Amino acid sequence: MIQIQNVSKVYKTKERIVTGVDNVSLDINTGEIFGIVGYSGAGKSSLIRCLNLLEKPTSGTILVDGLNLMKLRGNNLRQARLKIGMIFQHFYLISQKTVYENIAFALRAAKTPANKINARVTDLLEMVGLSDKRDVYPAQLSGGQKQRVGIARALANNPSVLLCDEATSALDPNTTLSILRLLKKINKELQITIVLITHEMNVVKEICDRMAIMQDGKVIEEGQVYDIFSDPQEELTKEFISSVVSFDVPSMILSKCTGKLVKVMFKGDVAGDGIISDTVQQFTIQGNFLHGSIEYIQERPLGTFLMELKGEDDEIEKAIAYMSSRAAQVEVIDNGN
């Protein structure tokens, strides 16, 4: 669907040369929701703007449905862009126009026949849940409602791709969740490929199928969201995940631990199995729970527990081996004792 091949974007100023995107290659599949994660300055906004040539890459190739956007000019490029909708963090609605007129503006710009505009806008307003806001102005809308107008406008010309540039960053958590659910609904019902950039792992966890982590203009890790959450490879990825799956235990509790401290992670269906209780029953050990949680990512459970094991060393080693054999990932933590 979308092939990003060795794309770089270099910005030149009088003082220096800045590389915003550094030789990035990614394949984004038809119909999936793909998240691109990174802190400010990582290059994610530059990359997403390269996907519809709002920023022309310095080098590399952008293919959308097999069409090489880098080779298009003038009207051909404008026609290709109609199939790539985009929503932004700050909405960019026209304050002097009503909700209806903001959406109709995108249709008129694409030279949609006048007799088809009303029906199309009506359908879009129903899709985003704003039929009752048809004749109000942006100043009368909440942030979430403004973003829904932005989504409707981006969908006006039946795009096959929807680019979301920090689309929920200006919204409160409840409104963010409602917008993410709307995007997921649009993805499923319209089979639109969504590319979503964010610095919030909760957003990725909620709706994305696959993801990439960016740092200093490069992609440092990519894969299925579940796989990255359950087995992150890069330190930055681990840092992002820790913002969602907190694993902090008060130092006062840790200082009282005299046994072996282990982190146990269960993936998939085994997250709900009684592996830990079976372990304690089968081996001569004591197990004290310090922390635990089960997250659901792509509707699959990921269980993480921190526990203290007490007993003879050989029994503890056997217990760890047993848990590992039951599809658990066990890591011994240094607690300073």
Average the pLDDT over each of 171-185, 198-212, 267-281 and give the range with the smallest value: 267-281
**What is the predicted pLDDT for the residue at 196?**
95
Strands of the sheet with 210-215, listed across from one edge: 84-88, 161-165, 193-198, 33-37, 210-215, 218-224
Tens of pLDDT, residue by residue over 210-264, are: 999 999 999 999 999 999 998 889 999 988 988 877 666 667 777 778 888 888 8
Domains of the chain: 2-242 (3.40.50.300), 251-333 (3.30.70.260)
Average the pLDDT over each of 37-51, 153-167, 313-327 and give the range with the smallest value: 313-327
Using only C-alpha atoms, the chain has a radius of gyration, in whole angstroms, of 24
Distance of CA 67 to the CA centre of its chain: 25
**What is the predicted pLDDT for the residue at 36?**
96
Closest alpha carbon to 180 in 212, 152, 207, 149: 207
Tens of pLDDT, residue by residue over 51-100, are: 999 889 999 999 998 889 999 888 888 888 889 999 988 888 999 999 99
**What is the predicted pLDDT for the residue at 271?**
55
Averaged confidence pLDDT in the chain: 89
